[in-house]
Chain A
């Protein structure tokens, strides 16, 4: 780990002014991903700006929208009564991630911008286009059994490891951001850049922007939500397949559905094609399967991760079937 200086931010403006325009600066939240990557030599900040003292650690009802501060710890988020009552999928997703210890420290904002677990990215002695643009992607021909099947490119097949973000995606979350231009909001989906030929550029927001929080629209009455994660170990492991779903069924017909897939792409994958197929149609296992198949038509699996296509398909069917019951 390289030497760095450390500062505690007094307020959001001060934090942003320290980190924006300083490519060597990073925000320090819970640090569960950043410190990990610093030890590996993947992140080499010259300045850490500790934002954990900022007043971004509350969950509040704002006229029906739920506002979650970026510094709300994963444990507090999952246990929050409003989250459990209104968005059980979010609580479930968080609780399926990491461990009790990590959830006590990791923050909401940090979770969204955590880096991939790809073994080539996390080893600085290996080539990696995400870490060293132009050095190549050894994963495509190498160890990729848990890498992307959707939206990847010839330059990178990394996946986003978050559970929380998958649920937020299905909930149509918006992300609050502050940079030198001031605060603004954008849909969570727009936070992540497509992989393309620059996998090193992961986010659409400006360098040095601070995530300040996320907000969720209310769900209509009768909405059911669910999260299911498949991992190689029964707990304390990253997903090899994950589905967050929001479903409203009326008279056996799907009146609203939102589906997000985890562990398949460089960001939470919103299954828009499947949603379109399902909306207004029958809420049956056959329809769910047809929709999942349609979504996964775009899958481009690699040598050792083709299993994820049927796994994800069957997971979508299982989750929606359960919710429609």
Chain B
């Protein structure tokens, strides 16, 4: 029933996951977070560590298409899942969200940017599914207040917020 249960306490585990479409299999210290796995083991350093406690959003990735803080996910617990990071968004061309962030200057230092972009992509999918927000309970019209609320899990100390809102609005086709 339980991996390792017969052999006493195993402090590491084998993890298999799809990272940006490519299968990965490696043995990890059970303590390793998905964020550290990406950064320290797989050299996917696009995903950033801002707080390591789910308080800033810089580590946001997409797990099976949903946005999540990779710093609070144990790598062992995402076994079998599909993980998309900022490195996996490009398809020859930059993803439209990446292009919009560049065009609108929706970042300054760029450190929160991969998380913002992954979050924005996940957020638009949530919107397409009709998910409500603290701003709107009913059918959603994607105005600025809606984007601001839905993107508030990503801090940007440079405060490119107005430009982030503009970039997302462009991709969402609003305006």
Query: Is there a direct interface between A and B, measured as CB atoms under 8 Å apart in the complex?
Result: yes
- The chain A residues found within 8 Å of chain B, CB to CB, are 1-10, 14, 18, 28, 31-32, 35-36, 38-40, 46-48, 50, 52, 75, 78-79, 84, 88, 91-92, 95-96, 98-102, 104-105, 234-236
- The smallest beta-carbon distance between A162 and chain B, in angstroms, is 15
Contacts of B67 in A (CB 8 A): 100-101, 104
Chain B residue with minimal CB distance to A233? B152
Given contacts A105-B69, A235-B148, 19 further A-B contacts (CB under 8 A): A6-B4, A6-B10, A8-B2, A9-B2, A10-B2, A36-B53, A38-B31, A39-B52, A52-B77, A78-B131, A92-B137, A95-B133, A100-B67, A100-B123, A101-B60, A101-B69, A101-B119, A105-B73, A236-B153
Q: Could you show 30 A-B contacts with beta carbons less than 8 Å apart?
A: A3-B11, A3-B30, A6-B10, A6-B76, A6-B77, A9-B2, A10-B1, A14-B2, A28-B77, A31-B72, A31-B73, A31-B77, A32-B72, A38-B31, A47-B9, A75-B131, A78-B132, A79-B131, A79-B132, A84-B137, A99-B153, A99-B154, A100-B123, A100-B126, A101-B67, A102-B72, A104-B63, A105-B68, A235-B149, A236-B153
Contacts of A50 in B (CB 8 A): 76-77
- The smallest beta-carbon distance between B168 and chain A, in angstroms, is 13
What class of interface size applies to chain B in its complex with A?
A: 35 or more
Residue-wise interface mask of B (44-79) relative to A, using a CB-CB cutoff of 8 A (1 in contact, 0 not) = 000000001110010010010011110011101100
Max chain B Cβ within 10 angstroms of own Cβ: one of A39, A92, A99, A234: A99
- The smallest beta-carbon distance between A93 and chain B, in angstroms, is 10
CB of A18 within 8 A of CB of B33, answer no
Let me know if B29 is at the binding interface, CB within 8 A: yes
| Contact for A6 among B13, B148, B155, CB less than 8 A | B13
CA distance A96 to B77 in the complex (A): 27
Contacts of B122 in A (CB 8 A): 100-101, 104
- The smallest beta-carbon distance between A289 and chain B, in angstroms, is 26
Chain B residue with minimal CB distance to A102? B54
Contacts of B63 in A (CB 8 A): 104
CA distance A88 to B136 in the complex (A): 12
Contacts of B31 in A (CB 8 A): 1-4, 38
Chain A residue with minimal CB distance to B122? A100
| 8 Å CB interface, B126-175 against A | 126, 129-134, 137, 148-155
List the count of A-B residue pairs having beta carbons below 8 Å apart.
Answer: 125
CB of B72 within 8 A of CB of A35, answer yes
Contacts of A48 in B (CB 8 A): 30, 74
CB of A96 within 8 A of CB of B74, answer no
- The smallest beta-carbon distance between A59 and chain B, in angstroms, is 14
CB of A91 within 8 A of CB of B132, answer yes
CA distance A31 to B149 in the complex (A): 23
- The smallest beta-carbon distance between B6 and chain A, in angstroms, is 11
Contacts of A104 in B (CB 8 A): 63, 66-68, 122
Contacts of B4 in A (CB 8 A): 5-7
Let me know if B109 is at the binding interface, CB within 8 A: no
| Contact for A101 among B5, B29, B153, CB less than 8 A | B153
Residue-wise interface mask of B (16-31) relative to A, using a CB-CB cutoff of 8 A (1 in contact, 0 not) = 0000000000000111
CB of A5 within 8 A of CB of B134, answer no
Contacts of A88 in B (CB 8 A): 137
CB of B57 within 8 A of CB of A6, answer no
CB of A234 within 8 A of CB of B152, answer yes
Given A32-B54, A96-B134, A100-B122, decide whether A105 and B72 contact each other with a Cβ distance below 8 A. yes
Contacts of A79 in B (CB 8 A): 129-132
CA distance A39 to B31 in the complex (A): 9
CA distance A101 to B77 in the complex (A): 16
CA distance A1 to B54 in the complex (A): 16
CA distance A3 to B28 in the complex (A): 12
CA distance A235 to B154 in the complex (A): 11
Given A48-B30, A100-B123, decide whether A28 and B74 contact each other with a Cβ distance below 8 A. yes
CA distance A2 to B52 in the complex (A): 16
| Contact for B30 among A6, A18, A99, CB less than 8 A | A6
